[in-house]
Structure 1
Amino acid sequence: MRDQYLSEEGYQLVGAAYEVHKELGGGLSEEIYQESLELELGFQGIPFDSKAELRVYYKGHLLNKRYIPDLHVNDEIVVELKSVKSITEEHEKQLLNYMRITKKPVGYLVNFGPPSLVWKRYILNEYIHKK
């Protein structure tokens, strides 16, 4: 069940990203995709924050420094956008580090680079809220 945590919200996010890619194609700047995806999320009524400051922790202590992800969807999904030829291990590690220091359970790495949209979903089980 934990692998399904926020899966519907993620499905909606990816659907919005596909809509942006369908409209614009690949190979444009990350900033263009960022703004376009923000508009599409708004059109579809998907709650998000753009460039929101997320709290960062060290050994359980809140730091003054904040992390600012590209998008923060449904209050729990960290989204890192790219417009590169291919996603690298470095991009994946970057997102996982962001998720860990902000204690967010789900992250999406979305690449608008050509020729097609590529996305990956990541889950850190230790940060899934007990309901």
Structure 2
Amino acid sequence: MKGREFSDLSNRVIGCAIEVHKVLGPGLLESSYQQCLAHEFTINQLEFKLEHPLSVKYKEIYLDCGYRLDFLIEDKIILELKSIEQLKGIHEAQLLTYMKLANIKQGFLINFNVKLLKQGLKSFVL
């Protein structure tokens, strides 16, 4: 049952991102998509944390190094947003590192600067 719930949550998150992209289209700043997506999550009654701080564990101590998750959705999914020409390996590495540090198993990397959102959507599972 948990796997099914997780899948439903993933579908809801992606649906919200698609709606934001459909309304705004490509070409805006990442912050615009972030704020609109936060509003869309609220409309769809999804619990989320915006710009959630992420500490780094170093030798049994947690340090605030200034990292922030764009979104942490229901403490289960990390969402990293971009509005760039093309996603690169460094962006994937960033999300995967965030997922490991936060001990979160699912993450989405979304580039809103594309014609169709599915071209800018990458899903990751640890």
Question: TM above 0.5, one fold?
Answer: yes
Question: CA offsets per residue over residues 88-124 of structure 1, 9 Å max, x none?
Answer: 1111111001111221111110110022212111111
What TM-score does the superposition give when structure 1 sets the normalisation length?
0.83
- 1: CA distance between counterparts of 2:105 and 2:61? 17
- 2: CA distance between counterparts of 1:3 and 1:121? 15
| 1:123 is the counterpart of 2:122 | no
The residue correspondences of 1:1-131 to structure 2 (distance < 5 A) are 6-58=6-58, 61-65=60-64, 67-117=67-117, 118-124=120-126
What percent identity do the matched residue pairs reach?
Answer: 36
1:86 is paired with a residue whose SS is coil
Q: RMSD over aligned Cα, in angstroms?
A: 2.1
- 2: CA distance between counterparts of 1:48 and 1:64? 23
User: Cα offset for 1:83?
Assistant: 0.6
Q: Identify if the C-alpha distance between structure 1 residues 89 and 5 changes in structure 2 by more than 3 Å, giving closer, same or farther.
A: farther
- 1: CA distance between counterparts of 2:7 and 2:58? 28
1:52 is paired with a residue whose SS is strand
Question: CA offsets per residue over residues 46-88 of structure 1, 9 Å max, x none?
Answer: 11110112343346x3412263100010112111000112211
- 1: CA distance between counterparts of 2:56 and 2:107? 16
Q: Which runs of 5+ in 1 are unaligned?
A: 125-131
Aligned residues: 123
Q: Which runs of 5+ in 2 are unaligned?
A: none
User: Cα offset for 1:3?
Assistant: 7.8
Consecutive aligned runs of 4 or more in structure 1 exceeding 4 Å deviation: 1-5
Do 1:17 and 1:37's aligned partners in 2 also have CA atoms closer than 8 Å? yes
What TM-score does the superposition give when structure 2 sets the normalisation length?
0.87
Higher relative contact order (CA 8 A, sep 6+): 1
